[in-house]
Amino acid sequence: MSSLQKILNKSLISKSKGFGLIEIIIGSAILTVSLIAISTYFQKSLQLSQDSGKTVQAGFLLEEGVEVVKFFRDTSWLNISGLTAGTFYYLQFDGTKWATTSSNIFVGGVFERKFVINNVSRDANDDIVSSGGTNDADTKKAAVSVSWLGRNGTTTKSISTYITNIF
């Protein structure tokens, strides 16, 4: 083997060692970026899952709120007609019975649930109207809302229904 061939072989061997180091660095960078992307994906999935859980809980609390208002009505129409129209009330459960309160109560330390009773007016055709008409003492509009603080601010869900004096 000539001295020129020996020099070329040594040059090729040292270049291939350099390429191995570059391949390791590039491979490490690809692996790092992949792990960061996967971690970010799972973190976002967890946040969305928590948000969905709170939305479902709020839905159940809304439904329960409407049922409690109907329960008040079923117990006595005075429970509904005796409330001041347009005033927000909070639901309180002491383990045996439901009650209304003007003090803010957080359900589970997260959700604020309140309801309001409004008067209902009817026109000459006995249809519900938003303005004018005659007050219907035996029909009220109940609106229940649930609010909670999330990452992007306060979220509020609400539902409303008409209730009538069934007795």
The confidence band for 3, taking pLDDT boundaries of 50, 70 and 90, is: low
How do the domains of the chain map onto residue ranges? Answer: 3-164
pLDDT tens digit sequence for 104-126: 989 989 999 999 999 999 999 99
Encode pLDDT of 125-150 as tens digits.
999 998 888 999 999 999 999 999 98
Alpha helices in 76-122 (DSSP H): 78-81
Burial bucket for residue 58 (CB in 10 Å: 0-12, 13-18, 19+): buried
For residue 28, the model assigns a pLDDT of 93
Q: What are phi and psi of 77, to 5 degrees?
A: -60, -25
Whether the model pTM is above 0.85:
no
By the 10 Å C-beta count (0-12 exposed, 13-18 middle, 19+ buried), 28 is classed as exposed
Q: Is the pLDDT of residue 14 over 90?
A: no
Read off the tokens for 72.
């008040």
18: left (phi over 0), alpha (psi -120 to 50) or beta: alpha
Q: What is the pLDDT of residues 21-57, one digit of tens each?
A: 888 899 999 999 999 999 999 999 988 888 888 999 9
